[in-house]
A and B are shown apart, each in its own frame.
Chain A
Amino acid sequence: MHGLEFDVAHLLAGSLVLASFMMLYQDRLSALLNVYAAHAIVLALSVTWQAFVQHAPHLYVTASIALVFKAIVIPVALHRIIVRLGIHREIETTFGVGLTMIGGIGLVALSMVVMLRVTPTADALAREDLAFALSVVLLGLLIMVTRRNAVSQVVGFMSLENGLVLAATGAKGMPLVVEISVAFSVLIAFIVIGIFLFRIRERFDSVDVQALDRFRGERR
């Protein structure tokens, strides 16, 4: 493993984690979507670098899928959705930013400890990659848990999926079919969730999931 290859891969994966942190404290929806687009671009770069390093041309396909769908199509579509829903200026009240950030740091530390402990025999690049990927997945889950708005929960889910793709490309030899099917499943999930957003909105005049809970007669 050349020093440069490792360093660049490390840098890109680290930037992905950083982008996840940026998403964690964005309380405005349109800003959140922009950060998500940046997240996807970093992912595409990281996958391209892996393709180059591993001499695996099929990973270029994965990278372009990530770039086209996740960095362009989905953010644009979500932007249009929130504009049509009229919530693009909405400010979400999340938990305190400091608290969430500390939780996120804890999660990153946890995933480092876990991954470095359970994969001592693996390739160094794959190890680092997996540790960062797990951090991105956990941060995605944290975003989903701390948000009330359905759109931001969708974004959390998408960033979680980016973490999965990062893990998959870090491990050598994943077939292209799996990548494509994952990409399609995300697209379909996106479509379904988009439709649901409008249905929820139609029914409750809001995409705040609290409204659903109120409808179910739950106390908060």
Chain B
Amino acid sequence: MIAPALILVAVLLALAPAGMALSGIARGPAILYGACLMVATALCAIALSSLLDPAHPVSSITLPIGLPWIGAQFRIDPLAAFFLAVVNFGGAAASLFALGYGAHETSPGRVLPFYPAYLAGMNVVVLASDAFSFLVAWEFMSLSSWALVVSHHREAENVRAGYVYLLMASFGTLALLLAFGVLAGASGHYDFDSIRAARPVGQMASLVMLLALLGAGSKAGLVPLHAWLPLAHPAAPSHVSALMSGVMTKVAVYGFVRIVFDLLGPSEWWWSMLLLAVGGPSAAMGVLYALMQRDIKRVLAYSTIENIGIVFAGLGLALAFKAEGMDLVAALAFTAALLHVFNHAVFKSLLFFGAGSVLNATGARDMEKLGGLIHRMPQTAFALLVGCVAISALPPFNGFVSEWLTFQAILLSPQLPAWGLKLIIPAVGGLLALAAALAAACFVKLYGVSFLGRARTALAAEAQETDRFSLAAMFVLAALCLAAGIFPAFFIDALDGVSKSMVGTSMPHQASLAWLTIVPIAEGRSSYNGLLVFAFGLLSGSIASLAIHRLASDRVRRAPAWDCGYPDPDVAIQYTASSFSQPIRRVFGTLLFSVREIGEMPPPGSSRPARLTVEMHDLIWETLYAPIGSAISFATERVNVLQFLTIRRYLALVFSALVLLLLVLAL
């Protein structure tokens, strides 16, 4: 299966220069995105067929490219197949969306060449089976996505986002480079098979794990390495934002799983604690940041941090249970994490597509300028509602299933013998529960402020429904959210092979259970039937609405609503995004964002309006990134003197460096 996959990736790479030619043609974007859609769909089919075919789980190939004495090795195993499916499903959906959305692009020449290259880069990362190809593809992915982030480079904000992204991406690649360097060891075998054969142990293994967490975690957006993510993801065109948030963060998760679960051997006891201690706070911090935002795409970007936190917490649980020999629970936690990877890719793409449609229709990303869009864009509103419910982890949609499975694993933590884990896992469970609840609040705010109520600006009042390709992409994803929610058994069973190859065992077979119930551990303990919940919800909802329509007055009357004492019902008196999140800001803000609210009342008799000023600080940026930044600029200013030496001084510098090194050698 690997050969056709690589041929398709080569087609994607060939589309990149074609994108340059096509950007001048009126139908160019449609042709390019159509080609990307076909290639990504074919790749997704390949991935699914090797994921679901247990007879031929692994297929590999060595190509004579790359380093001369190694070549480039590629391999599809269950883990790669799963992530390949996620990448290409996201890629296909984004390409379908872009068939409509891309027509509005103001500078297609800056997007079209990089888009297929970006897709190809992500594919190669997943397929690579030696460190060299992996790192080259990783950097290729980072750079092509950087080019997409700065595609609208006239806006100063985007340029800054691109700069921060480039720095953080380089940092992440450096960490991964060092991780692979340690993995290769003194013998210097860079292909994964040799690394598996000679695994580092003890402190070296821990070092690799830490470096992988830094490298993959910075790409995935774990707190506190997330600083670039909410800047860069919203800056790109919306279909690219969807790919970055929905798919590229998953490629980072893949890198982490590949290194820590596959290439490294048995884990040390504290690895799982570290993962949990990073994952839980990432989830809570991500969603709290999201709640404080007014920009739709930025809310979605911060919410990605939350979901990545949940995934990493799941991976931490898997490591913890695996280390204690509780393989079945480890498989449960691992499957939950992977299922959340898939689910997040689906609904985050859907939400970014919705945000892109709104952006196209109104030209605004600020929620305070929207409102009432449900009347102007009913289909987008419906699809986005599904996404919002799914990401808020409400049944019967898919977000609920994966988070519920994660909690099932958390609830089994009292059986762990280690005291540290016994203490930390319930705390992380609390953080995840908090994050789930806050995520619901966050998406109620996003949906309510942008789609409900009345239009706050003329732009929102005159919005038009988006085109049919964008709608098709959104509805496909929305349908998948529902399907994965009510038939989770099939999706869980599809992950059996991955779980077997990574944690040694898999969850019990689910699809054969009666009524499509899923039972992660034992029937007596817990079970969930999405179909039943869906049917019950549908039935009770229909009965309730029928009853209201039958039993209450069926005549529609239009009358002035009670105006709460405001004689002039202006659109500005609606709930705003900031006012909705104010209670939460009051509770968490003083500590986490050192919020200061300054209310300024005019004296009696004055006609001056009252003012409320809210001052917020990004403490992570100010305490971690800003000092590093100023330290670096201080050092560079000192070193800058070296740029202006005379020729003889340069010679003397080289000479003294040489003599110094020789002295070191001699003494």
A interface residues (Cβ-Cβ under 8 A, vs B) = 107, 110-111, 113-114, 117-118, 138, 141-142, 144-145, 148, 153, 209, 212-213, 216, 218, 220
Contact = CB atoms under 8 A, between A and B. Distances in A.
A2 to B, nearest CB: 31
Contact of B659 (A107, A117, A144, A220): A107
Given A110-B662, A114-B662, A117-B665, A141 B651 contact: yes
B655 A110 contact: no
Interface residues on B, range: 10 to 19
Contacts of B658: 138, 141
A111 to B, nearest CB: 7
Contacts of B647: 209, 212-213
Interface in B642-659: 644, 646-648, 651-652, 654-655, 658-659
Given A209-B648, A212-B647, A213-B647, A141 B665 contact: no
Contacts of B651: 141, 144-145, 153
Given A141-B655, A145-B652, A213 B662 contact: no
Nearest to B650: A145
Given A209-B647, A218-B646, A113 B655 contact: no
A114 B666 contact: yes
Given A141-B651, A144-B651, A145-B652, A110 B663 contact: yes
A118 B655 CA distance: 20
Nearest to A209: B647
A144 B652 CA distance: 9
A119 B663 CA distance: 16
A156 to B, nearest CB: 9
B665 A213 contact: no
Given A113-B666, A118-B665, A145-B652, A138 B659 contact: yes
Nearest to B645: A218
Contacts of B648: 145, 148, 209
Nearest to A103: B659
Contacts of A218: 644, 646
B382 to A, nearest CB: 69
B662 A111 contact: yes
Nearest to A113: B666
B386 to A, nearest CB: 67
Nearest to A137: B658
Contacts, number: 40
Nearest to B664: A114
Q: Which 9 A-B pairs rank lowest in CB-CB distance, beginning with the nearest?
A: A113-B666, A213-B646, A114-B666, A145-B652, A141-B655, A145-B651, A114-B662, A145-B655, A114-B665
16 contacts: A107-B659, A110-B659, A114-B662, A114-B666, A117-B665, A138-B659, A141-B658, A145-B648, A148-B648, A153-B651, A212-B646, A212-B647, A213-B646, A216-B646, A218-B644, A220-B646
Contact of A209 (B644, B646, B662, B663): B646
B652 to A, nearest CB: 5
A218 B654 CA distance: 20
Contacts of B659: 107, 110, 138
Nearest to A111: B662
Interface in B618-667: 644, 646-648, 651-652, 654-655, 658-659, 662-663, 665-666
A140 to B, nearest CB: 10
A118 B648 CA distance: 31
A82 B56 CA distance: 78
Interface in B530-578: none
B655 A142 contact: yes
A147 B524 CA distance: 90
Contacts of B662: 110-111, 114
Interface string B139-160: 0000000000000000000000
Contacts of B655: 141-142, 144-145
B665 to A, nearest CB: 5
Given A141-B651, A216-B646, 15 more contacts: A110-B662, A110-B666, A114-B662, A138-B658, A142-B655, A144-B651, A144-B655, A145-B651, A148-B648, A209-B646, A212-B646, A216-B644, A218-B644, A218-B646, A220-B646
Contacts of A212: 646-647
Contacts of A144: 651, 655
A148 B666 CA distance: 31
B664 to A, nearest CB: 10
A220 B655 CA distance: 19
Contacts of B666: 110, 113-114, 117
Contacts of A114: 662, 665-666
A66 to B, nearest CB: 24
Nearest to A213: B646
Nearest to A212: B647
A141 B644 CA distance: 21
Nearest to B667: A113
Contacts of A209: 646-648
A111 B644 CA distance: 31
B369 to A, nearest CB: 53
A138 B659 CA distance: 8
A144 B656 CA distance: 12
Contacts of A145: 648, 651-652, 655
A127 to B, nearest CB: 15
A213 B655 CA distance: 19
Contacts of A148: 648
A216 B666 CA distance: 39
A145 B647 CA distance: 9
A139 to B, nearest CB: 11
A114 B663 CA distance: 8
Interface in B194-252: none
A26 B647 CA distance: 21
Contacts of B646: 209, 212-213, 216, 218, 220
Interface in B325-380: none
Contacts of B644: 216, 218
A148 B646 CA distance: 11
Contacts of A117: 665-666
Nearest to A148: B648
B24 to A, nearest CB: 44
B641 to A, nearest CB: 11
A153 B647 CA distance: 11
Nearest to A220: B646
A4 B26 CA distance: 85
Contacts of A213: 646-647
A148 B659 CA distance: 21
Contacts of B663: 110
Contacts of B652: 145
A110 B661 CA distance: 11
